[in-house]
Amino acid sequence: MVSVGIIGGAGYTAGELLRILAGHPQAAVAFVHSTSNAGKAVSAVHRDLLGEIDLRFTDQPTDVDALFLCLGHGLSAGFLQNNGVDRRTKIIDLGNDFRVSPTSCGDRRFAYGLPEAFREQIRAANSVANPGCFATAIQLALLPLAQRRLLRREVHVTAITGSTGAGRSLSETGHFSYRSSNMAIYKPFTHQHLGEIGKTLRAVQGDGVSEISLIPVRGCFARGIFATLYTECDLSGEEARSLYGEFYKPHPFTLVSEEEISLKEVVNTNKCFLHVQKIGSKLLITSAIDNLVKGASGQAVQNMNLMFGLDESAGLKLKPAGF
């Protein structure tokens, strides 16, 4: 069994991580760290875990095999610098500290945790930077084109995210009264995930990667990301579908659908559904993920499985809500 610790245990990604690990056949949660909730039952904060996780929050981490950092963005590096973590402990960071630059902390160097692009590097790593949720949905939509060096023209992206993508802390745009029956764009063309997207695509394609123009949208639902991307492309529709199908054949969680996809088909799962079609001279790619699972905690567990030589799908055979 892999012993697991979670730092920053009160947030959405930690809660989702606990739900997944509760059913993992080869991992056991040793502690859940939270300075503000120390001594409180984990199920008092994550109410649906009553009867599933019989632990209390602690502010005293112990040595474990795998440590998940579920802290706010920018806080992971400080935690590692201020707390001695055994060199043998494998780390998966769900924040953005090590996704682009810097990619190291002390003697730890972080591999980028997108298995569909860097599976072998993840297997060999002792520290992994888990990708962002928008970055996951968009990169999975573009990797096959990058591998064939076809990202030469501007890619236009509109991606709608659920309210859980904003985290558990209260904010004006996270309130029910704002989100309900409402939509709004934010950070057009400047979203922080563009840096890691560009870095990955350059690593796969080499130079000459086209501009990615991203319009993020706040959606009036709780979880999931639904992204539509289009670019000028010389491939026929049949060639594009064949390219995507072959590229993702070795990967258990990214699936190319012959039919048009919808968001609910992937919510509560670690899957990414893709649909590819050619309309005129443009290739249209639709990508759907659960932002808390494939976009965060599920992918983190997938990375843990790879790092410890486990079945990549262990603990991740999750059921979507069909209706």
Instruction: Enter the tokens of residue 269.
Output: 């799962």
Which parts of the chain fold into alpha helices (H)?
Answer: 12-21, 42-45, 76-82, 115-124, 133-147, 176-179, 194-205, 237-247, 298-307
Q: Which of 70, 133, 233, 272 is catalytic?
A: 133
Task: Give the number of other CB atoms < 10 A from CB of residue 313.
Answer: 14
133-147 and 194-205 helices, crossing angle to 10°: 20
DSSP state of 179: H
CB 70 within 8 A of CB 33: no
- From 258, 269, 261, 274, select the one nearest 316 (Cα to Cα): 269
CA angle 117, 123, 129 (to 5 degrees): 65
CB 29 within 8 A of CB 1: no
What's the rounded Cα separation, in Å, for the pair 179 and 190? 22
Q: Is 133 a catalytic residue?
A: yes
How far from 146 is each of 115, 116, 134, CA to CA, in Å? 15, 13, 17
CB 119 within 8 A of CB 306: yes
What's the rounded Cα separation, in Å, for the pair 50 and 6? 18
Amino acid at 111: A
- From 248, 168, 146, select the one nearest 8 (Cα to Cα): 168
Which residues are designated catalytic? 133
